[in-house]
Amino acid sequence: MGVLKMYLGGALIAIFGIITILVGFVVGIAAVAQNSEGVCLTGIVIIVIGFIIYAIGKFYVGVSKRTTPVIMVEGKDKSRKQSLPPPPPPSYGNTSSYSYRAGDSKEDIEEKIRKLRRLYDDGLISEEEYEEKKKELLERL
């Protein structure tokens, strides 16, 4: 329930900030109509304060959206949001699978060199790895 209160409180603060901004505009327009510099400056100050209040309200709304509520179910903590598992580490290609095998034909080796080149072009292997494996494959032809 605390998150809901934070969300609603932030929304009310943001609405109050918008109202304050509108009041600042009304004061500023009235000051311009009366040619009063002091009141015009007051309107500008009220507008700035309104923007600050609005930003505080938006901050609380944002925090409440990022907070994960916890529900007690049968004595265990259960989160409403299921966390995703961490992403797997980046794969840089398994260049060892492109080495020569006794049963590889000339076409198989040529295809492996093409695949190796694609890995290099995609930035998944370094130039040194590419040249080393390519040389190894070409020696087996």
Nearest to 133 by CA among 72, 92, 88: 92
CA distance 48 to 7: 23
pLDDT on residue 19? 92
Distance in angstroms (rounded) separating the CA atoms of residues 62 and 5: 13
Please provide residue 80's backbone torsions phi and psi, each rounded to the nearest 5 degrees.
-70, -35
CA–CA dist 100, 120 (Å, integer): 18
Nearest-10 crossing angle of helices 37-66, 2-34: 160
Encoded tokens for 92: 């840089």
Measure the N-to-C terminal CA separation of the chain; round to a whole number of Å: 71
pTM value is 0.43
- Which H or E run contains 71? strand 70-73
Structure tokens at 28: 């500023």
What are 68's two structure tokens? 């994960």
List, for residues 90-129, the tens digit of each pLDDT value. Answer: 665 555 554 545 556 778 888 888 898 888 888 888 888 8
Place of tokens 């309104």: 50
Q: pLDDT below 50 — which residues of the chain? A: 1, 72, 75, 77, 80-81, 98, 100
